[in-house]
Amino acid sequence: MKAVVIAVIARLKSRASRKAGTMLHRALGVATIGASLLFAGHAAAQQVFAAASMKNALDDVSAAYTKETGKKPVLVYGASSTLARQIEKGAPADVFISADQDWMDYAQKHDLIDTRTRHDLLGNALVLIAPATTTGNVDLTPGGTDLDARLGSGKLAMGDPAHVPAGLYGKAALEKLGIWSRVQGKVAAADNVRNALLLVARGEAPYGIVYKTDANAEKRVRIAGTFPADSHAPIVYPVAVTKQANRADADPFYRFLQTPGAQATFQRFGFTRP
Which residue ranges form the domains of the chain, and what is each CATH number?
Answer: 43-123+235-268 (3.40.190.10), 126-231 (3.40.190.10)
Query: What is the DSSP pairing of strand 236-241 with strand 119-123?
Result: antiparallel
The response to whether 193 counts as a known ligand-binding position is yes
The response to whether 43 counts as a known ligand-binding position is no
Q: Residue 26 pLDDT more than 90?
A: no
pLDDT one-digit tens code per residue, 134-149: 999 999 998 888 899 9
- DSSP letters for the chain: -HHHHHHHHHHHHHHHHHHHHHHHHHHHHHHHHHHHHHHHHHHHS-EEEEEGGGHHHHHHHHHHHHHHHS--PEEEEE-HHHHHHHHHTT---SEEE-SSHHHHHHHHHTT-B-GGG-EEEEE--EEEEEETT-------STTT--HHHHHTTS-EEEE-TTT-HHHHHHHHHHHHHT-HHHHGGGEEEESSHHHHHHHHHTTSSSEEEEEHHHHHH-TTEEEEEE--GGGS---EEEEEEBTT--HHHHHHHHHHTTSHHHHHHHHHTT-B--
The response to whether 254 counts as a known ligand-binding position is no
Average pLDDT over the chain reads: 87
Instruction: Return the amino acid letter for 209.
Output: I
| Residues 245, 230: Cα–Cα separation, whole Å | 36
pLDDT score recorded for residue 112? 98
Mean per-residue pLDDT, 27-35: 32
Closest CA to 113 of 99, 127, 98: 98
Instruction: Return the amino acid letter for 213.
Output: T
Long-range interactions of 57-64: CB distance < 8 A, separation 24+: 57/213, 57/265, 57/266, 57/268, 57/269, 57/271, 58/97, 60/265, 60/269, 61/256, 61/257, 61/262, 61/265, 61/266, 64/261, 64/262, 64/265
Closest CA to 174 of 147, 201, 197: 147
Mean per-residue pLDDT, 177-193: 96
pLDDT score recorded for residue 117? 98
pLDDT score recorded for residue 76? 98
At 95, is the pLDDT very low, low, confident or very high (cuts 50, 70, 90)? very high
pLDDT score recorded for residue 3? 44
Q: Residue 5 pLDDT more than 90?
A: no
At 45, is the pLDDT very low, low, confident or very high (cuts 50, 70, 90)? low
At 270, is the pLDDT very low, low, confident or very high (cuts 50, 70, 90)? very high
The response to whether 61 counts as a known ligand-binding position is no
Closest CA to 238 of 124, 119, 140: 119
pLDDT one-digit tens code per residue, 71-93: 999 999 999 999 999 999 999 99
At 55, is the pLDDT very low, low, confident or very high (cuts 50, 70, 90)? very high
The number of residues in the chain equals: 274
The C-alpha R_g of the chain, in whole angstroms, comes to 26
pLDDT score recorded for residue 18? 43
Mean per-residue pLDDT, 5-24: 41
The response to whether 231 counts as a known ligand-binding position is no
| Residues 175, 231: Cα–Cα separation, whole Å | 8
Comparing 24-28, 52-56, 196-200, 201-205, the range with the smallest average pLDDT is 24-28
Q: Residue 179 pLDDT more than 90?
A: yes
pLDDT score recorded for residue 142? 87
Task: Tell whether the torsion through CA atoms of 143, 170, 214 and 250 is positive or negative.
Answer: positive
pLDDT score recorded for residue 10? 45
pLDDT score recorded for residue 1? 44
% pLDDT > 70, the chain: 84
